[in-house]
Amino acid sequence: MNQTAILLITCPDRKGLVARVATLLYQRGANILHADQHQDHQAGLFFMRVEWALDSGNAPGRDAGNNAGSNAGASSAAFDVDAFRAEFAPIAAELQMTWRLELSSARPRVAIFVSQYMHCLADLLHRHQAGELGCDIRMIVSNHEAARPLAGFYKLPFHYTPFPKPPASPGAKAERELAQIDLLEAEKIDLVILARYMQILSADFVGHFPNRVINVHHSFLPAFVGAKPYHQAFERGVKLIGSTSHYVTAILDDGPIIEQDVMRVSHRDQLEDLVEKGRDLERIVLSRAVKWHLDHRILRYGDKTVVFN
């Protein structure tokens, strides 16, 4: 797989945005592989994701088609990311863009938090090994010992950070979180995945990692917020159960939704059947969100997401 650059833009909508960005990239010789735009006409916002190859012109494989043409002005040397960044910055400022430029070569550093249910963790670790997830998993963090063998099998550091036993002072919880934050910052963690981590994170913790904590909630949000959503769903007699992955904010189960999916249930399904069936949903919904985040496909705005998938 060749290295690529990904430019993500959010800005007030106006005429000529695509032309400006596309022309600049063309002048620099970028070999565009994917481009997506979206306009939220109601909010007056423009979103864009462009991905291009960083290597020189004679790339084999997927982008072979691009090499058919060789217009004057299009360089065939390797793309100069720093020069582009310097040239793009003032344009972005003029157009009030919120933007970032990501490189596929810079693999995000990931920490996975888990409690006693292993299915999401096992799924993520297997996908990572199979090459589905473009990241470096740097640590498993848990308030239980259950994940230690899996961490060992995949040769990953395991940090056991037990919950303070009740009655615990409020300070004890805060202290433990500070230790976790230190751990994450020492390892320069880019993304925290809550893979069925059953402890509520404080606003302070979340504030340290804005748009960088992804959770899976085992219901079709906003139905069944909070504790024991399968119990709630069973009591209500729903005919479908759901699962939701979302960025974590200071308000419980309220962050921007990244992905949701559902599965059919019936009167034949007891509570334990809902729990078991739901595990398949949780795995899929969480892993999709993680993959899209790692591929820089998600733009958050307000309480929503644009997912260029």
- Is position 22 an interface residue for a second copy (rule: CB under 8 A)? yes
Q: What are phi and psi of 139, to 5 degrees?
A: -170, 155
Q: Is 229 in the site for a second copy (CB under 8 A)?
A: no
Give the shortest CB-200-to-a second copy separation in angstroms. Answer: 20
User: Applying CB under 8 A, does 16 fall inside the site for a second copy?
Assistant: yes
| 24: Cα within 13 Å, side-chain hemisphere | 19
141 to 170, contacts with a second copy by CB under 8 A?
A: 149, 153
Nearest to a second copy of 132, 185 (CB atom) = 132
Residue 242 binds a second copy (CB under 8 A): yes
Q: Rounded to the nearest whole angstrom, what is the least distance from the CB of residue 78 to a second copy in the complex?
A: 15
Using the minimum distance from each CB to a second copy, give the nearer residue, 101 or 184.
101
Query: Among residue numbers 261 through 280, which ones bind a second copy (CB under 8 A)?
Result: 261-262, 264, 266-268, 270-271, 276, 279-280
Tell me the residue type at 185: E
Q: How many residues bind a second copy (CB under 8 A)?
A: 86
- Residue 211: CB atoms within 10 A of its CB come to 17
Q: Is 259 in the site for a second copy (CB under 8 A)?
A: yes
Q: Find the shortest distance in angstroms from Cβ 176 to a second copy.
A: 28
- Interface with a second copy (CB under 8 A), residue from 107, 109, 119, 148: 119
Give the active site residues: 253
Nearer to a second copy, 76 or 105 (CB): 76
Q: Of 188, 183, 181, 175, which Cα lies nearest the Cα of 158?
A: 183
**Is 139 near a second copy (CB under 8 A)?**
no
Query: Does the protein bind a second copy through residue 171 (CB under 8 A)?
Result: no
Nearer to a second copy, 104 or 260 (CB): 260
Name the β-bridge partners of 191: 110
Kindly state whether residue 102 participates in binding a second copy, applying the rule CB under 8 A.
no
Least separation in angstroms between residue 244's CB and a second copy is: 8
The pattern of x and - marking residues 76 through 95 that bind a second copy according to CB under 8 A reads: --------------------
Q: Mutual orientation of helices 271-294 and 119-129 as an angle, nearest 10°? A: 40
Whole-number minimum distance, CB 40 to a second copy, in Å?
7
Among 257, 274, 290, 294, binds a second copy (CB under 8 A): 257
**70-87: b (≥16 Cβ within 10 Å) or e:** eeeeeeeeebeeeebeee
8 binds a second copy (CB under 8 A): no
| Binders of a second copy in range 173-212 (CB under 8 A) | none
CB of 138 to a second copy, least distance (A): 21
Of the candidates 2, 3, 37, 202, which one interacts with a second copy according to CB under 8 A?
37
